Structure formats: structure tokens, C-alpha cells
Structure 1
Amino acid sequence: MALQNRSASLGTEPISNLLVKQSVPASIGILVMSLNILVDTIFVGNWIGSIAIAAINVVLPVSFFIAALGMAIGIGGSSIISRALGANNKEKALKTFGNQITLTLLITILMTVVGLYFVNDLIPAFGGKGDIFEPAKIYYKIVLYGVPILALSMMGNNVLRAEGKPKIAMIAMIIPSVGNLFLDYILIYVFDMGMAGAAWASTASYVLSFLFIFWFFLSDRSELRISFSHFGLNMAILKEMTALGFVTLARQAVVSVTYLLMNNILFSLGGEASVTMYGIIGRMLMFALFPVLGVTQGFLPIAGYNYGAYKFPRVRESINKAIKYAGLLALVIFALIMIFPEAIVSVFTTDAVILKETPWAMRWVFAAIPIIAIQLIGSAYFQAIGKATPALLLTLTRQGFFFIPLILILPNFFGELGVWISFPIADVLSTIVTGFFLNREIKKTLIT
């Protein structure tokens, strides 16, 4: 069957149906991945100790940043693929996919080597001080071995969505999550391997995801059947792909810088306990927002395909409905966090100090979550249609332009409270800015 015929549903089916078809699998995949991180943290906190939560929180920025290289290449290239499918340009889609694989391997292997070489400098810089250093070092070195495989998996997952295969992408996210939890139990609880067990469980789970995605693209079920000629780097495609992917990479770079600052600021204000609090709250942010992030992921190929096909009324409809659905889901999340923070924290640890201090901080962090859909969908829209500069600026608005300055300033006046209130203030300010530019872009370009 021709490539365009197999992906044409993105331009013909009702937007509501497409959002459900694209978002539900994405949400389930993100849920399982987030649940994996959440349960992994629970296992580590209960079977190793609360200091282990802080250790993993220190390592995450480094491994996430390198893995984000794969995600950035995946999202940047997938934007090109979605629009190429909409414009019926099969060769460009295939060439883009081949270039994604080559670029991911080259960059992530290099970054892994550099990350391992500077291990003793990076861990303290990201807040791995005092009792946190040794367990963080054990976890970091092992996890980093599997990061190139994780990067390839993240890249391939986004290509699956661009190809119109959200269910396959969901399975690719579920496999490593389930595998990691099973391996956690075996290596940490049964074999008592401690931090090394947690790290090897994560690394092995990356391999499982990669093997599944690799099998799919080699099978007849994939439309993107590339040949060796497609692996050769094409400068025009690389330029467009890196410009769009830089949006995701810059966002993750800012996240890594945020972790660095937060871990160091909180360590100076409250020691290991405050870093552990942030570890728990950070996991809840990843977990609780899964349906909102799922809608955002589902929205990307729909907007990209229809924009490439010049079906602007469908693009407008996809924006409006994505914001509506994501906003309603965010409101539900807000209510649950506000009502049950104590019960949530008690799942992670029995440490009395953590149980007492974390719930009030969590309420502040989630205070403005109901409006976050506008910011997420708005910045995602510019990325979906290939406008890299506004996508980059809007993506960096929340954490780069607002949150980082706030956490550098407010703790000087309000202590640890200043750190937590920075979250809702940044959410409100970034939503206002994104809403303004999104509305202006709709009126300017999405004309019938």
C-alpha cells in the first residue's frame, strides 16, 4: 500500500477521533514510563534508603540530557516526516529517518564517553555531595552505558508516531517500563545489589525497548523501509532537523540546569532531606502529568500533517481541542494533588522529616497546573509546523526565562519557600506569553 494512503487518516478523520487515537496510546506509554520511574523510586526508597532517592535525582540531569539528544533528533526529524507525508514526499521521509539514526549514534556515543570521563566532576556539580556522592556515582556509571540505546529508542518512538503508529509507540514505551520493574525486584530485592541493581535494571530495560523498535522497522509493518543510501548525512535535512530538534534539546538542557541549581540550592538550605523532597516531587511531576503530555504528543503529528497538507481549518481545530482536553485533564490532576499529598508522599518513604515537609511543598509546585496546557500545546504547535525559532523561545519560556531566575532570587527572601513558589509563578507567566504568541500566529497564518 502506498505510503500516503496508509497515513492519510491524519488528514481525513475527525480531529476528536484522531486526538483520542493518537493521545491515548501516547498517554498510556507515558503513564507506564512515569509509573516505572515512580515505582522505581518507591523501591529504591524502601529497599535501599531515602538517600538513594537523592542520589538518583542527582544523576537524572546528565543521563536525561544525553538521552534527550535522541528525543530531540526524533522530534525534529518527525516534524519533517509528518509534513513530508502530508505533502506526499516519500523519499524525503525515508532520507530523514536514515539521517536520524546516523546522527543519534554519532552524538550520543561521543557524549557518553565524555560523561564517563568527567564522572567525578559532574556528580558534585549536580548536587551529589556528602553522603549522596558514592551511591550517585555507582548509579551514574552503569546507567550511562545504556544511554545511547535509550536515545535510539526515544528517537524511534517519535518516528513511530509520525508514521501513524501510536499503538506500536505505546508498546515500545511499556516494554522497558515493565522490564525495569521486574528487574528492580530481582536485582535489588532478591539479589540485594543495591544501587548497582537499580542501575543495571534501568540499563537492561533500555535494551529491551531498542530491540522491539529495531524489530518493527525491519518488519513489513513499517512504511519507512530505508536502505543504506538513506544513512548518508544530507546537509539540508540535517539543518532543518537540528533546528527543530534543538527546541527539545534546549528544553532538556534547561531541565538539566534546573536540576543542577535545585539540587545545590536545596542542599544548601536543607541538606540531603531537601534534595530528597525534590526527588519525590520531581517524580510526581513526571507521573501526574502523563495525560497532558500524552495529548501534546498526540497533537504533534496531527498538526504537522494537516499543516503540510494546507488544511488550516483542521489545524485550528486540533489546537483548540488539544488545549481543551489537556486542560480538563490538568484540572483533575490539580484536584488530586491538592487533596491527597500526604498519602502520596507516604508511599515513597517512612522518614518522618520527609513525610512532614514534602506535602506543603508539593501543593505549591502543582498550584498552577490547570493552565499548563496552553503553554505545552502552544509551544508544541510551532514545533509541529516547522517554525523552530518561536518553538525554541516558547519552550524555554517557563524554565529558562522565568523559573531559573526565580529560584536564584526568591530563596534569598523566602528561604526554601522561595524555591517552591517559583513553580506556579513561572507557570502563570509562561502561559500568558505562550497564549499571546499562539493567538497571534493563528490569526496571522491559519486563514481559510
Structure 2
Amino acid sequence: MKDKESVFLNSDINKLFYKYLINSVLGMLAVSFCILADTMFIGQGIGSDGLAALNICIPIFNLFNGLGLLFGMGGATALSISRGKGEIVESQRIFTKSIIIAILVGITLSTLGKIFTEKIGYILGANISNIYMVKEYLSGVLIFSFSYILAHTTSAFIRNDHNPRLAMIATVTSGLSNVILDYLLIFIFDMGIKGAGLATSIASLINLLILLTHFISKKCSLRFIKFKINVKDISRILFNGLPSFIVEISSGIVIFIFNLKLLNIVGNIGVSAYSIIANVSLVAAAIFTGISQAMQPIISVNYGANKIDRVKRVRKKGLKTSIIVGLSFYIIGILFPQFIVGVFTSEKGQIVDITVNAIRYYFLAFIFMGINIVNGAYYQSMEHRILSNAISLSRGIILIVIGITILPIFLGVNGVWLSAVFAEVLTLIITYIYVYKKK
């Protein structure tokens, strides 16, 4: 075990960071690609009504993925800090508790989802005109919904157990499976939007099954051990993972709020346009989350071993990478907005005009989004829970709600798109003011 942790403590930071970065980003892109594939196939095969129904359902993925990250990132952070301190038995106890919690929650939500599918659809914002499509998609998605939670939880521990490559292979294979299944179920077997949901569900199960092979390999140093129910340990896991949960679940909340606002201002066509924006945002957020996941095990182990200089160097690498990615997304959006729209829908006219206009405003947020996500992950990896939670809550819920409530009054639909920029910029300013004052 000590030899394994010496890799985090003594290896060249650049090589170590990029090794984890490539695997983590590819893995997170594959996760987002599952939803992205659904969007492209639904947009091309079913049309704008299908896109609107899909966008209404996206928050359910945020919930499942968020819970997986809550238990996975929360437990894995505590595990790596304990390993850095040499507390091996404690680290195994944390692992065991995290996995058991994830299993129990996953099975419970899967059962409830199958029983209350239609009610969930209405809660997500469906109405009489689109409830049929929403229900059809959800009925496919919820078949193996437990696998979304368990896949994210186990993936976090596997990365911290020095096997980021397997985590990447599992998610990439899942993404490719999703594309193949989407094509087969939508176009060949003519299952429509339900086929898209089923394809995503099966792909998630494939992801989990591949990840589970780690636990029978020689590389695995994770062990299930006996434990007693301890509120302190469970709260440590949950509080550590809360920033990741907030980042993920806030995406769902934002989509829900945006959908309601756009339905009120421009109608169903606005929701269809936003589904394209939301999916591109999903890809950007996946890359930023991949950067933060690459940082986490390196920072946590070195922080536990009190190697603060290495911790700061990892943060600097993460910030530089996120700024480059954010600027790239913004520039591509400004230069090629119509191409982006064309990837998702073959329709012309109003949906293209609305989406192209939205891209010019909304994509500015990506420049600041990456910095905020990386900053939140930095503090989360050291168990600085108050600041990491404050960053996640500010950008993900509080400021976005304020922005989308106030800005459209003065700017109309453009205020909806600018509310994301408003939230990210203010979060960044508040964070650095707080950190500066603490110094």
C-alpha cells in the first residue's frame, strides 16, 4: 500500500496530473456522450418535440450521477487522505461504508422510479402536450437506474486505487455502446424515444459491469471489512461529497428553472433550443469535472502527507487547463454557432435563430465555469467543506436563481442566457475576495 501511495507523493507532478487528466476527462466525456447521443439521435429521428421531452428528463440523470459522486468523491477523498496519513484500516472502512450506502440508495430509487414514472415526469415539468414522450423516455431510462449511482461511486474509488485507465475504458465503452444501441433501437427496431432511454440505461449497466472487474484484479487494494454504524464517518463521507453533488444536481435544477422560464417567455421552441445549449454545456462541465477528478486523488494523498507545495502545483495545473478549455468553447461558439445547431437538429427557421442567439451569450459562462469547478474541487479534496460547498451553492443554485429571476425582466430572453454568466462571474469574484481576506 505504501509503495502505491508513493506514486502520488513522489512522482513528477506534470506526468502524474496528465496521466489522470486524460483518463478522467475521457471518462467524463463518455458519461455526457450517453445523453449527447440521445439528443442527436432524437433530434434527427424524432424532431424538436423529442428534444423538448429529453431536456425535461435530463435532471433525473443529474440526480443519479450526483448521488454517485456524493458517495464516490466523498468516500474517495476521505480514503486518500487517510492513506496519506498511513491509516489503512480506516481507509478500508470508509470504502466499505460508501459502497453499501450507494447500493442501498440505488436500489431504493430504482424501485420508486418504476412505480412513480408518470408522477416523476410531471414533477420534472412535463405537461399534457409532452407527458407521453417524457414517460416513454423515463420508462427506458429507469430500468437499470441503480447502475448510474453505483458506476459513479465505484469509478471514484477505482481512480483513487491507481487504476484511472479502467475507469476511462468502462465509461468510453459505455458511451460507444450507447451510440450503437441508440441507432439500433430508434431507427432499426423503431422504438422511438423509449428506445433512446433504454439504450442509455443498458450502456450504464455495461459501465458498471466493466468497473466491477477491478475488484477481482491483482491491482485492487480495496477491501470490504466489518464495520459498525458510525454517524461521524457517514457524515464525513456525505459532507466531503456534497460539493460534487451540488455541482451535478444544480445542473438539473438549472435546466428545470430554464425550461419553466423559457416556456413562459418563448414557449416549447425555447425549450427545444435550450436542449442544444444544455447538451453542449454538459460536455463542457464533463471536461471541467474530469479536470477536478484528476486533481482529487493527487491533492488528497499529498495533503494527508502534508506535502502542501505539491498540492498547490496541482491546483495551478488544473486552473490553467480549465481556462484553456473554457476559452476554446467560447471561441468555437462565437465562430461556428450554426454548425453546433446543425449537429443536433436538421430543422430550420426559428429554432436555429433562437439557439444561435443563445450561444453568443451563454457560452461566455464557460470561461469562468471551469475556474469555479476547479476551485471547488481543490478545497473539497482537502476536506475544506465550508468553502467548497459555498462555491458550489453560489454558482449552481443561489446566483443562477437570482440571475434568471431578475435579468429577463430587463433583457427578455437574453437575460435567461446571461444568467449563467452572471452566476459564474459573481461566484469567482466572491471566492477570491473571501480567500484574500482569509490571508
Give the TM-score taking structure 1 as reference length.
0.93
Q: Does 1:369 align with 2:347?
A: no
- In the other structure, the counterpart of 2:260 is 264
Pick from 394, 397, 407 the counterpart of residue 394 of structure 2.
397
- In the other structure, the counterpart of 1:324 is 320
Once the 2 structures are TM-superposed, how far is the Cα of residue 369 of structure 1 from its aligned partner?
2.1
Partners in 1 of 2:313 and 2:436 — Cα distance?
Answer: 13
Correspondence 1:174-323 to 2 at 5 A: 174-227=172-225, 229=226, 233-323=229-319
- In the other structure, the counterpart of 2:7 is 9
Q: Is the 8 A contact 2:158 2:214 kept in 1?
A: no
Call closer, same or farther: CA 1:264–1:291 in 2, change over 3 Å. closer
Partner amino acid, structure 2, of 1:405:
I
Call closer, same or farther: CA 1:144–1:367 in 2, change over 3 Å. same
Structure 1 spans left out of the alignment, 5+ residues: 444-448
153-162 or 86-95, which deviates more: 86-95
Once the 2 structures are TM-superposed, how far is the Cα of residue 82 of structure 1 from its aligned partner?
1.2
Partners in 2 of 1:249 and 1:372 — Cα distance?
Answer: 16
Partners in 1 of 2:27 and 2:90 — Cα distance?
Answer: 28
Deviations 1:3-54 (Å, cap 9, x if unpaired)?
1211321111122222101111111112233333323211111112221111
Pick from 72, 75, 84 the counterpart of residue 74 of structure 1.
72
Partners in 1 of 2:389 and 2:288 — Cα distance?
Answer: 20
- In the other structure, the counterpart of 1:378 is 375
- In the other structure, the counterpart of 1:170 is 168
Q: Is the 8 A contact 1:375 1:435 kept in 2?
A: no
**What's the C-alpha RMSD, in Å, of the aligned pairs?**
1.8
Q: Is the 8 A contact 1:295 1:322 kept in 2?
A: yes
Deviations 1:79-123 (Å, cap 9, x if unpaired)?
011112211222112111111111012122223333444433332
- In the other structure, the counterpart of 1:41 is 39
Partners in 1 of 2:127 and 2:433 — Cα distance?
Answer: 42
Q: Is the 8 A contact 1:63 1:143 kept in 2?
A: no
Partners in 1 of 2:287 and 2:134 — Cα distance?
Answer: 30
What SS class does the counterpart of residue 393 from structure 2 fall into? helix
Partner amino acid, structure 2, of 1:268:
N
Partners in 1 of 2:173 and 2:182 — Cα distance?
Answer: 14
Q: Is the 8 A contact 1:183 1:201 kept in 2?
A: yes
Partner amino acid, structure 1, of 2:238:
T
- In the other structure, the counterpart of 1:86 is 84
Once the 2 structures are TM-superposed, how far is the Cα of residue 439 of structure 1 from its aligned partner?
5.0
Once the 2 structures are TM-superposed, how far is the Cα of residue 314 of structure 1 from its aligned partner?
1.0
Partners in 1 of 2:260 and 2:123 — Cα distance?
Answer: 8
Partners in 2 of 1:233 and 1:248 — Cα distance?
Answer: 24
Partner amino acid, structure 2, of 1:411:
P
Partners in 2 of 1:65 and 1:336 — Cα distance?
Answer: 29
Partners in 2 of 1:331 and 1:438 — Cα distance?
Answer: 24
Partners in 1 of 2:379 and 2:151 — Cα distance?
Answer: 24
Partners in 2 of 1:233 and 1:178 — Cα distance?
Answer: 40
Structure 2 spans left out of the alignment, 5+ residues: none
Partners in 2 of 1:415 and 1:123 — Cα distance?
Answer: 28
Partner amino acid, structure 2, of 1:271:
G
Deviations 1:406-441 (Å, cap 9, x if unpaired)?
112222332211101111111111111223344566
Deviations 1:130-189 (Å, cap 9, x if unpaired)?
432111111112212322111000101111121122111111211211111111111111
Once the 2 structures are TM-superposed, how far is the Cα of residue 289 of structure 1 from its aligned partner?
4.5
- In the other structure, the counterpart of 1:446 is none
- In the other structure, the counterpart of 2:344 is 348
What SS class does the counterpart of residue 25 from structure 2 fall into? helix
Partners in 2 of 1:150 and 1:135 — Cα distance?
Answer: 22
Partners in 2 of 1:61 and 1:438 — Cα distance?
Answer: 32
Q: Is the 8 A contact 1:126 1:263 kept in 2?
A: no
What SS class does the counterpart of residue 162 from structure 2 fall into? coil
Partner amino acid, structure 2, of 1:408:
T
Once the 2 structures are TM-superposed, how far is the Cα of residue 368 of structure 1 from its aligned partner?
3.4
- In the other structure, the counterpart of 1:122 is 120
- In the other structure, the counterpart of 1:131 is 129
104-113 or 18-27, which deviates more: 104-113
Q: Does 1:357 align with 2:354?
A: yes
Pick from 140, 144, 147 the counterpart of residue 142 of structure 1.
140
Partners in 2 of 1:439 and 1:430 — Cα distance?
Answer: 14
Partners in 1 of 2:13 and 2:298 — Cα distance?
Answer: 8
Partner amino acid, structure 2, of 1:400:
I
Q: Is the 8 A contact 1:82 1:305 kept in 2?
A: yes
Partner amino acid, structure 2, of 1:114:
L
Q: Is the 8 A contact 1:47 1:188 kept in 2?
A: yes
Give the TM-score taking structure 2 as reference length.
0.95
121-130 or 194-203, which deviates more: 121-130
Partners in 2 of 1:122 and 1:410 — Cα distance?
Answer: 30
Partner amino acid, structure 2, of 1:349:
T
What SS class does the counterpart of residue 82 from structure 1 fall into? helix
Call closer, same or farther: CA 1:373–1:85 in 2, change over 3 Å. same
Call closer, same or farther: CA 1:248–1:414 in 2, change over 3 Å. same
Call closer, same or farther: CA 1:145–1:156 in 2, change over 3 Å. same
Q: Is the 8 A contact 1:382 1:388 kept in 2?
A: yes
